[in-house]
Amino acid sequence: MTRRSLALGLTATAALFVVTGCGSDDSPSADTTTQVSAPQVGLAPFTAAPAAPLSGAPLDRDALQRAALTLSELPADFDIVPDPVDDLGLAPAPESSEADKSSTDPAVCAQVLAPIATQAAGSVADLSDMFTGPDFTSIDQDSASYADGAAAAAAFEKLQTTLAGCAEYSGTDADGTTITYRVGGASDPNVGDASFAFRIITESGGFTLVADAIVAAVGTTLTQVSATAPSPIAPDVLHSMASAAADRLRAQTP
């Protein structure tokens, strides 16, 4: 999930926590609004994990598509979000005339949770898929394949360097609403040839989203699987999806 998606998710989550009802004729107000406090979620410091020696041939986009997670590997009640252009055959969205007020401070932290190919340029092929589920939950997978092991290892390191430098940062969404971000680590998931895990806690106006992610290298391909919700996903569920993603990539690797 990208930072913009996190911001949009916060807007949707806010609707979940605001309840409006009608009072009796004797009540001082006919409408009441209740806000639920953000959940308390733990956050450990992020520690970079060394990349094992990586080698192998890169995968093309078709191979990445065959290796992508399917609904059978996701929790129940999730659906894929079709790409308007690639999947639905629609024309690209026109440029909006409205001013985009989104920003990030420091600017480099806008890369956190961006697709791997965006964070580490030079991939041979890349692919992103998004899934939506109940109660404002989402699961995302993106993959990027690099020409050789050295390029893949450099990309693996670059993603972690960004995370290590963005423990706390802030920004605004497209409408100018202030959002704060905190980034931390998680236990080594031991997926693929090399892997690391992290968590992002996103807060705005008293509402919170938690994104947990695992990045794994298989040969010269990196894949990132993340799950975002008002409360953290069960660690074993995220690990299961990341392991399935690594296995599917392994099956496509020459």
DSSP symbols for 9-73:
HHHHHHHHH-EEEE--TTSS-SEEEE-PPPP----BPP---PPPP--SPPP-HHHHHHHS--GGG
The pLDDT tens digits of the residues spanning 135-189 come to 889 999 999 999 999 999 999 999 999 999 999 999 998 788 899 999 999 988 9
The pLDDT tens digits of the residues spanning 86-139 come to 554 555 555 554 666 688 999 999 999 999 999 999 999 999 999 999 988 999
Give the lowest-confidence range in 22-36, 45-59, 104-118: 22-36
Is the model more confident about 115 or about 13? 115
Percentage above 90 pLDDT, the chain: 66
pTM, entire model: 0.82
- Evaluated on CA atoms 59, 60, 61, 65, the torsion sign reads negative
Q: Which of the four pLDDT bands, split at 50, 70 and 90, describes residue 253?
A: confident
pLDDT at 50: 86
pLDDT at 98: 61
pLDDT at 84: 52
Please state, as a whole number, how many other Cβ atoms lie within 10 Å of the Cβ of residue 203.
17
| Domains annotated on the chain, with CATH | 3-88+100-252 (3.40.1000.70)
Is the model more confident about 107 or about 83? 107
pLDDT at 4: 44
pLDDT at 87: 53
Closest CA to 141 of 220, 226, 247: 226
The pLDDT tens digits of the residues spanning 187-206 come to 889 999 999 999 999 999 88
